[in-house]
């Protein structure tokens, strides 16, 4: 941008005008110089000059004041141009030389390495991007969005966010009732690989993987980005855009044009759930499903390689929906420190964001599923005993030695109650369940707060709750995964009414129940069966070793008008129980806890279970997070973070090998660093078909 701007004075068509100016300035300059000169002489031979050109001296200050400024800017510009010129003249491989000189020779990117091994493109590859990483573009908008036709509203540079924030929010929002387009606005997903290769300039998502796949011969005809509008509920993408039909048709085409070789599907993040939905949809009969017949998946899919899959939801989604405070479920929040928290929107930033994101049905697909069975009750959780010892070990070894000796018993008692996903107050989070007095909020009467009318258009459903309702919520003290859904129903009834039509969060009692034919169950792995495709493979690839949000300590926020009444109590800290800034964290990839990413492959689908009747093989591949060794590595080639893992060389190598035909066994089977298998054991979930158990209400 800056280069562009700087070049413009030269290139611009208004050159002539500038030249005229320039000449003018030139003349002025001459005058000034001449004056200066004369003035200089003035000092030497004052009398002589004064006689002749006495009228000149008053002009002197002009040069020193603004002109030095101009001179200075000119100097900077010239240096800049010079550097820019040198940079452009520099051979493209130069930065690499520098990097190699500093860090030593870089390892070959996996694509190059595997090409040397002789791997070639074999199975076509389908990418399914996750939430927020896909680009969205405008097809029809209000007046304020004029000139943005087919420009990206989401992804890319986000320039419009700064220029016309309210307009942007309006266009990104969906209709609050239907969860579809508002009247007169059509925002559609960008299609093709460009949809999600880079999220913002320089911030790769799929680009590294694509580049490496291209090395072994992949190209457009063998790669397909299943871009979809990630704001919609999964079934609505089909209703509005026929996205599922398009994916189906494209996969069929890929298989047909590549000599009948099945596709390898690589979903990321929410794309994992989306593709789960797709697999059920495609085999379901026509009106509701895609009518592909019961063996469509086994005919067309070789493997589903899930990257960072939130199979069972993420606790972050709760915080996001509850108080718009999740750290990065939406990258909107990543931008937050820069501009969302300041006053562009006149204090209502968070409300605007919340209002916008609450119209997105898809965020509700990420609410933790499986209730207390999976996520733990008031007094237990599968991750129990996961003291943050591991992390502390890294930080401070002496400290742990001290504590282990003296306070072992206390420490154990104080292990975090992860099951209480939301607690009001730290003491509540730590107290034993018998000590907590809870007043049921469900029947509480919502009052009407007077604030409603003054809040103009920033309407969130909190305004309908009134003080009584808010108080009732806080009185209930602590919420487990089960009661959380009820809580959300209470605080945002309209949103949840919309959401529950499309998603379900329970555990199925009897999977033969005809109600499970409805699409709302398709994206919940605990309420659907995998397709009948014994040759298919399911991988779960995710990073571990990063603290990941798991439970929150909330407080009532000082009540200001128009604000969100709850917020995370950032003052709550506890070394022993992984509580930091009001957030309990566990092992994971910074967004998805290990439990959610790994449980289905570790236990739920392992072997022949009722969720996996045909015995599809599952593999877990974990990647231990290592931060980039130095700045030159950018986001690191060993990262385990939710999005950065897409640039993890080990993961890319695995993906390429699978795409080139390797099976899970050839890859090395499971690769586990976390305690996922132990934790899975803790979960008491019925896996046999014969004895259906109603484990959740």
Q: Which H/E stretch holds residue 204? A: strand 203-204
Among 220, 343, 397, 435, binds another protein (CB under 8 A): 220
Q: What is the DSSP string of 526-581?
A: TSSPPPS-TT-EEEEEEEESEEEEEEEEEEEPP--TTS-SEEE-TT--BTTTTEET
Q: How far is Cα 658 from Cα 676, in angstroms, rounded to an integer?
A: 23
Q: Is 474 an interacting residue with respect to another protein (CB under 8 A)?
A: no
**Catalytic choice (173, 642, 670, 695):** 642
Binding mask 95-134 vs another protein (x if CB under 8 A, - otherwise)?
A: ----------------------------------------
Among 211, 335, 344, 474, binds another protein (CB under 8 A): 211
Residues with Cβ within 8 Å of residue 240, at least 6 apart in sequence: 180, 181, 229, 232
Q: How far is Cα 601 from Cα 604, in angstroms, rounded to an integer?
A: 6
Chain positions 76 to 95 lying near another protein, rule: CB under 8 A, are 76-78, 88, 92-93
Q: How far is Cα 158 from Cα 146, in angstroms, rounded to an integer?
A: 16
Q: Is 239 an interacting residue with respect to another protein (CB under 8 A)?
A: no
Among 20, 46, 50, 75, binds another protein (CB under 8 A): 75
First to last CA, the chain: 57
Q: Which H/E stretch holds residue 349? A: helix 349-358
Q: Is 197 an interacting residue with respect to another protein (CB under 8 A)?
A: yes
As measured in angstroms, the least distance from the Cβ of 316 to another protein is 30
Among 85, 87, 97, 139, binds another protein (CB under 8 A): 139
Q: In this chain, which stretch among 217-225, 318-326, 450-458, 486-494 interacts with another protein, using CB under 8 A? A: 217-225
**Catalytic choice (197, 229, 569, 589):** 589
Q: How far is Cα 401 from Cα 475, in angstroms, rounded to an integer?
A: 39
As measured in angstroms, the least distance from the Cβ of 89 to another protein is 10
Among 20, 50, 62, 73, binds another protein (CB under 8 A): 73
| Residue pointed to by tokens 């397909």 | 224
Active-site residue flag, 642: yes
Q: What is the DSSP string of 327-346?
A: SSSSTTTTTIIIIISSGGGT
Q: Is 33 an interacting residue with respect to another protein (CB under 8 A)?
A: yes
Chain positions 314 to 343 lying near another protein, rule: CB under 8 A, are none
Q: How far is Cα 530 from Cα 191, in angstroms, rounded to an integer?
A: 28
Q: How far is Cα 281 from Cα 289, in angstroms, rounded to an integer?
A: 5
User: Which of 600, 592, 497 is CA-nearest to residue 540?
Assistant: 600
How buried is 302 (Cβ within 10 angstroms: 0-12 exposed, 13-18 middle, 19+ buried)?
Answer: buried
As measured in angstroms, the least distance from the Cβ of 358 to another protein is 25
Q: How far is Cα 210 from Cα 198, in angstroms, rounded to an integer?
A: 11
Among 121, 153, 205, 210, binds another protein (CB under 8 A): 210
As measured in angstroms, the least distance from the Cβ of 18 to another protein is 6
As measured in angstroms, the least distance from the Cβ of 53 to another protein is 8
Q: Is 245 an interacting residue with respect to another protein (CB under 8 A)?
A: yes
As measured in angstroms, the least distance from the Cβ of 392 to another protein is 43
As measured in angstroms, the least distance from the Cβ of 158 to another protein is 16
Q: Is 22 an interacting residue with respect to another protein (CB under 8 A)?
A: yes
Among 50, 151, 221, 442, binds another protein (CB under 8 A): 221
Q: Which residues are tagged catalytic?
A: 269, 589, 642
């Amino acid at each position: 941008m800056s280069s562009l701007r700087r070049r413009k004075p030269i290139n611009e068509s208004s050159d002539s005008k500038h030249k005229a100016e320039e000449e003018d300035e030139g003349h002025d300059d001459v005058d000034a110089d001449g004056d200066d000169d004369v003035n200089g002489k003035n000092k030497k031979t004052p009398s002589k000059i004064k006689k002749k050109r006495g009228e000149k001296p008053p002009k002197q200050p002009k040069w020193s004041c603004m002109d030095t400024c101009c001179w200075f800017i000119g100097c900077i510009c010239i240096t800049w141009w010079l550097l820019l010129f040198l940079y452009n003249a520099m051979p493209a491989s130069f930065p690499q030389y520098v990097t190699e000189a500093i860090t030593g020779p870089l390892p070959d990117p996996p694509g190059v390495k595997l090409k040397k091994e002789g791997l070639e493109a074999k199975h076509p590859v389908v990418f399914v991007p996750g939430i927020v990483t896909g680009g969205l573009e405008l097809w029809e908008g209000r007046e304020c969005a004029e000139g943005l036709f087919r420009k990206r509203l989401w992804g890319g540079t986000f320039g419009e966010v700064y220029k016309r924030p309210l307009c942007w929010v309006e266009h990104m929002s969906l209709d609050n009732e239907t969860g579809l387009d508002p009247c007169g606005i059509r925002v559609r997903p960008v299609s093709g690989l460009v949809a999600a290769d880079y999220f913002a300039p320089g911030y790769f998502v799929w680009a590294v993987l694509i580049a490496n796949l291209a090395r072994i011969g992949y190209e457009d005809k063998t790669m397909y980005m299943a871009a979809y509008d990630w704001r919609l509920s999964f079934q609505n993408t089909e209703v509005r855009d026929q996205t599922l039909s398009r994916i189906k048709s494209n996969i069929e085409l890929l298989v047909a044009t590549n000599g009948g070789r099945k596709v390898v599907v690589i979903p990321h993040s929410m794309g994992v759930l989306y593709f789960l939905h797709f697999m059920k949809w495609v085999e379901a009969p026509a009106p509701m499903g895609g009518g592909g017949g019961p063996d469509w998946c086994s005919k067309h899919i070789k493997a589903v390689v899930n990257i960072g899959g939130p199979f069972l939801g993420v606790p972050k989604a709760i915080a996001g929906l509850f108080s718009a405070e999740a750290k990065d479920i939406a990258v909107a929040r990543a931008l937050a420190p820069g501009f969302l928290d300041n006053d562009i929107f006149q204090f209502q930033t968070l409300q605007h964001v919340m209002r916008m994101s609450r119209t997105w049905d898809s965020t509700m697909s990420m609410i933790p599923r499986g209730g207390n069975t999976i996520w733990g009750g008031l007094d237990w959780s599968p991750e129990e005993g996961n003291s943050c010892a591991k992390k502390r070990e890294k930080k401070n070894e002496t400290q742990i030695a001290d504590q282990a000796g003296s306070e072992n018993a206390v420490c154990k008692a104080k292990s975090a109650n992860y099951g209480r996903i939301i607690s009001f107050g730290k003491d509540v989070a730590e107290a034993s369940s018998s000590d907590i007095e809870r007043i049921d909020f469900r029947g509480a009467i919502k009052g009407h707060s007077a604030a409603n009318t003054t809040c103009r258009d920033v309407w969130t459903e909190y305004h309908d709750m009134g003080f009584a309702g808010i108080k009732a919520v806080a009185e209930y003290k602590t919420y487990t995964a089960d009661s959380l859904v009820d809580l959300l129903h209470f605080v945002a009834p309209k949103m949840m009414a919309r959401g529950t039509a499309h998603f379900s969060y329970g555990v199925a009692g009897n999977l033969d129940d005809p109600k499970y034919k409805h699409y709302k169950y398709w994206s919940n792995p605990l309420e659907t069966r995998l397709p009948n495709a014994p040759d298919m493979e399911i991988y779960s690839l995710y990073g571990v070793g990063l603290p990941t949000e798991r439970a929150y300590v909330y407080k009532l926020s000082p009540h200001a008008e128009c604000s969100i009444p709850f917020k995370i109590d950032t003052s709550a800290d506890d070394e022993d129980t992984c509580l930091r800034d009001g957030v309990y964290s566990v092992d994971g990839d910074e967004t998805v806890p290990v439990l959610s990413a790994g449980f289905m492959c570790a236990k739920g689908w392992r072997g022949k279970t009722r969720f996996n009747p045909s015995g599809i093989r599952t593999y877990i591949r974990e990647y231990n997070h290592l931060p980039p060794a130095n700045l030159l590595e950018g986001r690191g080639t060993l990262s385990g973070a939710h999005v950065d893992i897409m640039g993890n060389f080990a993961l890319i190598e695995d993906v390429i090998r699978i795409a080139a035909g390797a099976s899970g066994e050839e890859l090395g089977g499971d690769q586990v660093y976390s305690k996922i298998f132990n934790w899975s054991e803790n979960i008491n979930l019925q896996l046999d078909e014969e004895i259906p158990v109603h484990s959740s209400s």
